[in-house]
Amino acid sequence: MCETRSCWTRRSALQLGAALAVAPALSFSKDKKMLTRPIPASGEELPVIGLGTYIVFDVESTPANIDARQAIVKSMIEKGASLIDSSPMYNRAEDVVGDIIKTSRNRDKLFLATKVWTNGKAAGERQMRASSERMNAGVMDLMQVHNLRDTDEHLATIRDWQAEGWIRYNGVTHYRAGALDDLEAAMRQHKPEFIQINYSLTERESDQRILPLAKDLGIAVLINRPFVAGRLFRAVRDRPVPDWAREFAESWGQFFLKFIISHPAVTCVIPATSKIHHMADNLGAGFGSLPDDKTRQRMANYFASL
Ligand SMILES: NC(=O)c1ccc[n+]([C@@H]2O[C@H](COP(=O)([O-])OP(=O)(O)OC[C@H]3O[C@@H](n4cnc5c(N)ncnc54)[C@H](OP(=O)(O)O)[C@@H]3O)[C@@H](O)[C@H]2O)c1
């Protein structure tokens, strides 16, 4: 597997694509597969649970820090998950992902997503090149314009690099309800292959227009801030998961994540964690039954009543 940009060729990009398309299936146990959703642009199946790296992967590359995060990534792969989301805005997070890939040699099992977060074509090119090297990505699976910053300029570069085989998919991100008008405009104008937006039990604004529009336009959707940066757990405190939810959620983490992935427009959710037992909990949401519309409403009402 080509691990640096310098050894990249178009053929390696195609081989990587083929490997990624089958990689999760190799690690599924016989009768338990993590749920997947197709990326509309290609039909490639993406496991519904991924991993965010904001804050939690922004650590010194000490053996203890790397080992702990390597175990998290290993557990993802073992359960059939593949997507890791990062950004040059997250300080050392891209480097930590790169260190893990370098030591584990597991690049072909991962779907790597990062972002460009700067102004201007030349600065964007430098940053995207650096991200690919820092993450030991070779070909980047998904390059997103972070918080719609200089979208026109960067999407043009990303599309050029896609044509050359350096990047597999393009996308745009945001994380605030106040940006939904701009996000909608970017979706209509650019028709990106992915969007990434916040959506959770307490931040549900994107289900009014953005999620239905993504479905209509055939855009894959990554969901960030699924726990509102951990705040949802503080709201439930020591309360047990209600009995009526036990058939699909063994924990509050799974309750929150299943509310999200049961939305028909959602492709993958990217909870962040620094803890292996939280990763195991989150991965569990990728298995078993999902709540139907009526139950989703009940989940929202229940949470609002707390
Ligand atoms: N504009 C953008 O593009 C944008 C904006 C925001 C976020 N994002 C992406 O989305 C990712 C997720 O959002 P986020 O990091 O803001 O917040 P989040 O995923 O909603 O919450 C992360 C917090 O939840 C805790 N946690 C995770 N799993 C848990 C579990 N099972 N039980 C209890 N606590 C748990 C984590 O702490 P522990 O470490 O203790 O587990 C962490 O403090 C980011 O990391 C980033 O990749 C992108």
Q: What would the pLDDT profile of 139-192 be if each residue is shown by its tens digit?
A: 999 999 999 999 999 999 999 999 999 999 999 999 999 999 999 999 999 999
Q: How far apart are the first and last CA of the chain?
A: 50
Does ligand 1 come within 6 angstroms of the Cβ of 229? Answer: yes
Q: Is the pLDDT of residue 9 over 50?
A: no
| pLDDT for residue 83 is more than 70 | yes
> Is the model's pLDDT at 110 over the cut of 70?
yes
Are the C-beta atoms of residues 48 and 38 closer than 8 Å to each other? Answer: no
- β partners of residue 169: 142
Q: Is 52 in the pocket of ligand 1 (CB under 6 A)?
A: yes
Going by C-alpha positions, the residue among 150, 146, 212, 149 that lies closest to residue 175 is 146
Give the chain's mean pLDDT: 91
Does residue 16 belong to any structural domain of this protein? yes
With a cut of 50, say whether residue 4 has pLDDT above it.
no
Identify which of 221, 183, 171 has the alpha carbon closest to the alpha carbon of residue 48: 221
Is 3 a residue whose pLDDT tops 90? no
Least confident range of 19-23, 60-64, 85-89, 245-249: 19-23
Asked if residue 258 has its Cβ within 6 Å of ligand 1, the reply is no
pLDDT at 32: 83
Average pLDDT over residues 105-109: 95
- Choice from 227, 256, 257, 281 to test ligand 1 binding pocket (greatest atom count within 8 A of CB): 227
**In the predicted structure, residue 1 carries a pLDDT above the cut 90:** no
CB 142 within 8 A of CB 168: yes
Residues 202-228: pLDDT tens digits?
A: 999 999 999 999 999 999 999 999 999
Domain of 207, in residue numbers: 7-305
**Which run of H or of E encompasses 207?**
none
Which pLDDT score is estimated for 228?
A: 98
Does any domain span residue 111? Answer: yes
CB atoms within 10 A of CB 11: 10
Q: Is residue 1 part of a domain?
A: no
Q: Cβ(130)–Cβ(122) under 8 Å?
A: no
How far away, in angstroms, is 55 Cα from ligand 1 center? 8
Q: What is the sign of the dihedral through the CA atoms of 289, 295, 300 and 302?
A: negative
pLDDT tens sequence across 21-65: 333 333 334 448 999 999 999 999 999 999 999 999 999 989 999
- Averaged over 265-271, what is the pLDDT? 98
150 CA to centre of ligand 1 in angstroms: 25
Residue 27 belongs to a domain: yes
Q: Does the structure show a pLDDT above 80 at 273? A: yes
Q: Is 46 in the pocket of ligand 1 (CB under 6 A)?
A: no
- Residue 160 CB coordination number (10 Å): 12
Please state, as a whole number, how many other Cβ atoms lie within 10 Å of the Cβ of residue 277. 10
pLDDT (average), residues 217-244: 97
pLDDT for residue 24: 33
DSSP 169: E
Residue 7 pLDDT > 50 = no
205 Cα to the center of ligand 1, angstroms: 19
Write out pLDDT tens, residues 121-146: 999 999 999 999 999 999 999 999 99
Q: How far is the CA of 53 from the centre of ligand 1 (A)?
A: 7
How many Å lie between the centroid of ligand 1 and the Cα of residue 270? 7
pTM here? 0.91
From ligand 1's centre to the CA of 274, what distance in Å?
9
The answer as to whether 245 is a domain residue is yes
pLDDT computed for residue 277 by the predictor: 98
Ligand 1 centroid distance, CA of 14 (Å): 32
Mutate to test the pocket of ligand 1, among 53, 224, 258, 261 (most ligand atoms within 8 A of CB): 224
CA angle 256–277–265, rounded 5-degree value = 30
How far from 3 is each of 19, 105, 121, 133, 235, CA to CA, in Å? 14, 9, 25, 9, 43
Question: How confident is the model at residue 61, as a pLDDT?
Answer: 86
pLDDT of 118 higher than 60:
yes
User: What does DSSP say about strands 45-47 and 36-38: parallel, antiparallel, or unpaired?
Assistant: antiparallel
Q: Which of 215, 116, 113, 110 minimizes the C-alpha distance to 158?
A: 116
pLDDT band at 253; cut points 50, 70, 90: very high
From the alpha carbon of 196, which atom of ligand 1 is closest?
Answer: 3
Q: What is the CATH number of the domain that holds 25?
A: 3.20.20.100
Domain count, the chain: 1
275 lines ligand 1 (CB under 6 A): yes
Buried/exposed 215-250: b ≥16 CB within 10 Å, e otherwise? eeeebbbbbbbbbbeeebeeeeeeeebeeebeebbe
Given a contact cutoff of 8 angstroms between Cβ atoms, the answer to whether 283 and 254 are in contact is no
Q: Could you tell me if residue 2 is inside a domain?
A: no
pLDDT for 15 beyond 60: no
Probe residue for ligand 1, chosen from 151, 222, 259, 278 as the CB with the greatest number of ligand atoms within 8 Å: 278
**Rounded Cα distance, 166 and 144, in Å:** 14
Ligand 1: distance of its center to the CA of 49 in Å? Answer: 12
Q: How far apart are CA 281 and CA 251, in angstroms?
A: 7
Q: Is the minimum distance from the CB of 231 to ligand 1 under 6 angstroms?
A: no
